[in-house]
Structure 1
Amino acid sequence: MKIQDWQEKELEVGIASAHDSLEATEAGHQSDPQMTERSTNAGPPPSGTDADLCQSKSQGNFMTKLERAVSTLSSSRKTEKRLERAKHPEMNLAENVVGWEGQADPTMPLNFATRRKWLLLILTSSTTLMVALTSAMIAPGVTYISQEFGNSSNVLDTIIVTIFLLGFAVGPIVLSPLSEIYGRKLILTCGNVFFLLWQIGCALAPNIASLIVFRFLAGVGGSASLTIGGGLISDLFYIDERGTASSMYAIGPLFGPVLGPICGGFIAERLGWRWVFWVLLIFSAILLLTLEIFSKETNHRVIMRWKVEKLRKELCNDNLRSCYDDPGAALRTPSETLAISLIRPLKMLFFSPILFILATYMAFIYGLQYLLSTTIPLVFQTTYHWKPELTGLAYIGLGLGFFGGIMAVARINDATVVRLTKANHGVPEPEMRLPACVLFACFIPVSFFWYGWSTFYETHWVVPIIGLIPFGLGQIGVFIPIQTYVIDSFPEFAASGMAALTIMRSLLGAVLPLAGTKMYDSLGLGWGNSLLGFVAMSLIPFPILIFKFGGAVRKKYPLEL
């Protein structure tokens, strides 16, 4: 891929340093080892310390002082709890190796200022929030869609909502590997634009068939942010920071299906169901523009490849190679690289026993969430006689559970890894993310027994809403550790790992609600939800087994990616 003009600005610092390094090499000088080798205990300077804060132009401003205090406190806490930092591969032009300009190279994404890292993560999480809103925001308006198009099938009503998730299963197969070749920023932009275009199609759909097709295509484009987010976390954050980062990122994809029906119910009732898509289009376009202004490429390998290509031209040396390339490996053609990248998510899913088990477990819980999302409107409109615009408020229970789960997991996820790593003689293992799963997984069955029998006996409407809180708490406590486990296991191909998770969970998320309709018709709300609760209970031992034996299995069956 040729270097574009907008890429060159990101390389100016590295190129200037490369010229200095070349001159030193030609003069026969050696770098001072004390300057090139830093203590692993010290690691790269924490972002947000006085070195960063002194760049502020308004020292007397109250907000600047507040940021200084918060950043300094954050840095001191991280210094106490963090692990040793792995060294970045450095420049060695004497051996034709292009790398980073020392451990503090500002172009290295791991060295970005804390504020820049969190800005990039928050913008990406906001994008996933809009995509997740789209997945469920139309649910309360399905009644109006069926009335307009003369549909009387409950199954077809469910497909209108869940077909979007089928797009989530297809898109990552292509988009995630491409982000590891051409960069996160380019693929995320293309996916978001594709997503926006099909929102227009949904708003103008002339019949149910076209609406279903357009929803599927919108899901394909929207899947970019869901899968690239894992790669972004791997690019920007060290291992003892990824739990907190994953918790922040999870706000978007998990809160979207909760907030969507709340907003969608009022919009569909007051403005019509088509305005659900127009509102999504407007806010998504604003977010996309903001993302384009502030986003920056973070893929280490892609940045280094751009740097190699530019230095080859600047220094007239075609023998230069990236520090991430294996010098003994044969060079691949672009078509070979693309083919290998495209099959990588499926290879990770089906050839890694641990990843397959965790993806299946995660997918089942995700399917349960969408099963609840598609049945809640029916239950509260028929059993409790709520208007469609108020039905979305029933999702507040899930939202409260999600919020509590994020607060809890953000506090214990990284802390658990640090504690277990120190007990393991300083060697971190991906399985150290999983102990929290066991505790939180126990909350999930509680919701199904509580919610199912309270709706069966038609108790006060607040009782089933409260019964949804444990599910939200448990889902967060399972999802975030598993996602972080995948990022830690495959840091260089985290986007493909997240794609594997997204493919599996989106398939079940699209299919399980279809089976749920007939199950509830046969068993009723009480025993139907109890059946799901018993299945959820039977799956609780899986995280325990993987925590205990997963490391041995992972090392015995390594993946060649």
Structure 2
Amino acid sequence: MSSSQDDTASRKSSFYDDKDLEQGFQDSRPMSTATITEPAFTGTANEAHEEPPRTCDDWDGPDDPANPHTWSKSKKIYHSFVPASIAFVCTLASSIYTPGRESVMADFGVSAEVALLPYVLYVLGLACGPLLAAPMSETFGRRAVYMIAIPIFALFILGAGFSQNIASLTVCRFLAGVFGSPGLSIGSATLSDIWQPHERAIPMAIYVTTPFLGPAIGPLVGGYVAWAKGWRWTEWVLLFFTVAGLAPTLGMKETYKSAILKKRAKALGIAPKHPQRTHLQAAKFFLTSTLTRPIHMALVEPVVGLFTLYIAVNFAMLYGFFAAFPYVFETVYGFGIRSTGLTFLGLGVGCVVGCAIIILFSKLVFKPQVQRSKEMGKGGKVPPESRLYIAMIASICLPVSLFWFGWSAQAGVHWIAPVIAEGVFGCGNLLIFMAATLYMMDFYGPMYGASAMGSNNLARYVLGAAFPLFVVQMYERLGIGWATSLLAFISLAMTPIPFVFYVWGPDLRAMSKYQRPT
């Protein structure tokens, strides 16, 4: 990305100016758009003077109807619904399977650990999102990714439902996760194509909540379906959700600027002045920007390394709870498969509350800071550390919620107590994720911030796949109180992270090898 593009991005003052680079943010960078001209003119000199060569390197003015920023509000809402629904479906698919695990054990004669593999491998497949979405989105555009990846996702879900052994079920769900992940990871980039910076707060807050809400709703839906119809119907119902989520893409228009301009140039018969990036150049860029740089930043940059670890552990706990909560509520409260599914509503409510807090923080705290900055002649710029207020509060809520959940369940108090604790955890998890993401975007700028979030995405889904493999055994051996307390102590050890960066963030920026371009 050119320095001029970075400078433009740095002047955006909305709460979500850089949010479009989260999770699938690698895809939001525009391809270089070289000036494109028509073939040499062969007419008279006067004709050539009257009709200069056309170009397709930018919009035809601020009112260009092809520019998504000029679309009507209803059209923008429609195109925002597509990535939100797909993000919801792809994350719903992770946890909707878990209530049917005992049915899988009975059908295929496998242990509880083996029956958990289709869930674990699906989560691992989601880690592939940015690796696939970056080249696909850059080459084909946003709409093509949805239209290519999600139908293949649906086919593998169909295959999972028809599986006759645990191996085919596991492989189908893993590949479903792989092909569902690109549609999940480019959603925020799609919204940044559609909404101007000052319009993004509410759409982005709602969109980012859906990947947290999907896993919370999954056990509720899966519990009733598995109880009534068996585990196969968890896949069939998921297929119904997928069709409902994919159907709106049929009326969707392309939103990616480079793809729109490329299509326009082709329709007008305009050839590029400069050759397109070769496959070798594309491969080199992919290796350095999408793979190597995120890993290097996680190793040498304290902000990236610590926030990646913090968010990854929080996600791992969240996904581990989808295996642990059924054990807790069945053992202590005698809940059945349907009642246990209902308890996950606590996480869902917590996510909704977190979304509301994010919007209120944007309106009541961050925007006034931006306005004061403008009045002081600073161009609306505020220190990145302003993003960390909600993270500092949430970092205290997380260990409190874990201690609350573990010992209230251990003592057998009314079931509403651990359910409320779930809600506090879900809210805190979402707030930390959002604050850390926005902080890293402000800290490093759009280009390096995208790489920082790339390492974060990989780490959180890899750990999210690992935790469910041992969390139930940990609860069985340590007991509910101490097992959850162990997680709470880990969370407590990470509580100082946002406070440390709030105090020493400016010094770390000065020492960073990936300083934001100025």
TM-score range, shorter chain: 0.7 to 0.9
Higher RCO structure (Cα 8 Å, ≥6 apart)? 2
- One of 113, 130, 135 as aligned partner of 2:94: 135
Shift of 1:560: 11
Q: Counterpart in 2 of 1:175?
A: 133
- One of 390, 396, 402 as aligned partner of 1:436: 390
Q: Counterpart in 2 of 1:482?
A: 436
Secondary structure (helix, strand or coil) at the match of 1:468 reads helix
Shift of 1:458: 1.8
Q: Counterpart in 2 of 1:273?
A: 231
Shift of 1:487: 5.9
Q: Counterpart in 2 of 1:4?
A: none
Q: Does residue 187 of the first structure (1) align with residue 187 of the second (2)?
A: no
The one-letter code sitting in structure 2 at the alignment partner of 1:452 is G
Shift of 1:383: 2.0
Question: Hey, what's the Cα distance between the residues in 2 that align with 1:192 and 1:409?
Answer: 29
Q: Counterpart in 1 of 2:42?
A: none
295-304 vs 358-367, which moves further: 295-304
Q: What are the Cα deviations for residues 38-74 of structure 1, in whole angstroms up to 9, with x where unaligned?
A: xxxxxxxxxxxxxxxxxxxxxxxxxxxxxxxxxxxxx
Shift of 1:430: 5.1
Q: Does residue 376 of the first structure (1) align with residue 325 of the second (2)?
A: yes
Q: 1:521 to 1:235 in 2, by over 3 A?
A: same
Q: Does residue 387 of the first structure (1) align with residue 329 of the second (2)?
A: no
Q: Counterpart in 1 of 2:205?
A: 247
Q: 1:338 to 1:233 in 2, by over 3 A?
A: farther
The one-letter code sitting in structure 1 at the alignment partner of 2:285 is I
Question: Hey, what's the Cα distance between the residues in 1 that align with 2:145 and 2:46?
Answer: 38
- Written as runs of structure 1 = structure 2, the 5 A alignment for 1:288-437 is 288-293=246-251, 295-311=252-268, 313-314=269-270, 318-319=272-273, 332-341=277-286, 343-352=288-297, 353=301, 354-413=303-362, 415-424=364-373, 425=378, 426-427=380-381, 431-437=385-391
- One of 237, 243, 252 as aligned partner of 1:285: 243
Sequence identity percentage: 30
The one-letter code sitting in structure 1 at the alignment partner of 2:458 is I
- State TM-score, norm by structure 2: 0.81
Contact 1:398-1:471 within 8 A present in 2 as well? yes
Q: Does residue 111 of the first structure (1) align with residue 70 of the second (2)?
A: yes
Contact 1:176-1:227 within 8 A present in 2 as well? no
Secondary structure (helix, strand or coil) at the match of 1:398 reads helix
- One of 246, 258, 273 as aligned partner of 2:216: 258
Shift of 1:343: 4.9
Q: Counterpart in 1 of 2:3?
A: none
Q: 1:383 to 1:302 in 2, by over 3 A?
A: same
Question: Hey, what's the Cα distance between the residues in 2 that align with 1:358 and 1:233?
Answer: 24
Q: 1:544 to 1:421 in 2, by over 3 A?
A: farther
Aligned length: 466
Contact 2:97-2:119 within 8 A present in 1 as well? yes
- Written as runs of structure 1 = structure 2, the 5 A alignment for 1:401-550 is 401-413=350-362, 415-424=364-373, 425=378, 426-427=380-381, 431-485=385-439, 491=446, 499-550=454-505
Shift of 1:204: 1.0
The one-letter code sitting in structure 1 at the alignment partner of 2:514 is P
Secondary structure (helix, strand or coil) at the match of 2:63 reads coil
Q: What are the Cα deviations for residues 363-413 of structure 1, in whole angstroms up to 9, with x where unaligned?
A: 111111111111111111222211112210111211121111111112213
Q: What are the Cα deviations for residues 136-157 of structure 1, in whole angstroms up to 9, with x where unaligned?
A: 01111101111111223x3223
Contact 2:82-2:246 within 8 A present in 1 as well? no
Q: 1:25 to 1:506 in 2, by over 3 A?
A: farther
In structure 1, stretches of 5+ residues that fail to align are 1-13, 16-22, 30-92, 322-329
Question: Hey, what's the Cα distance between the residues in 1 that align with 2:340 and 2:334?
Answer: 9
Q: Counterpart in 2 of 1:74?
A: none
Contact 1:416-1:433 within 8 A present in 2 as well? no
The one-letter code sitting in structure 2 at the alignment partner of 1:378 is Y
Q: 1:496 to 1:195 in 2, by over 3 A?
A: farther
Question: Hey, what's the Cα distance between the residues in 1 that align with 2:213 and 2:134?
Answer: 23
In structure 2, stretches of 5+ residues that fail to align are 1-35, 38-44
Q: 1:110 to 1:370 in 2, by over 3 A?
A: same
Contact 1:449-1:533 within 8 A present in 2 as well? yes
Q: 1:318 to 1:528 in 2, by over 3 A?
A: closer
Secondary structure (helix, strand or coil) at the match of 2:116 reads helix
Q: 1:181 to 1:413 in 2, by over 3 A?
A: farther
Secondary structure (helix, strand or coil) at the match of 2:412 reads coil
Contact 2:104-2:231 within 8 A present in 1 as well? yes
Question: Hey, what's the Cα distance between the residues in 2 that align with 1:25 and 1:395?
Answer: 71
- State TM-score, norm by structure 1: 0.75
487-496 vs 451-460, which moves further: 487-496
Q: 1:542 to 1:118 in 2, by over 3 A?
A: farther
132-141 vs 510-519, which moves further: 510-519
Q: 1:486 to 1:181 in 2, by over 3 A?
A: farther
Question: Hey, what's the Cα distance between the residues in 1 that align with 2:132 and 2:451?
Answer: 10
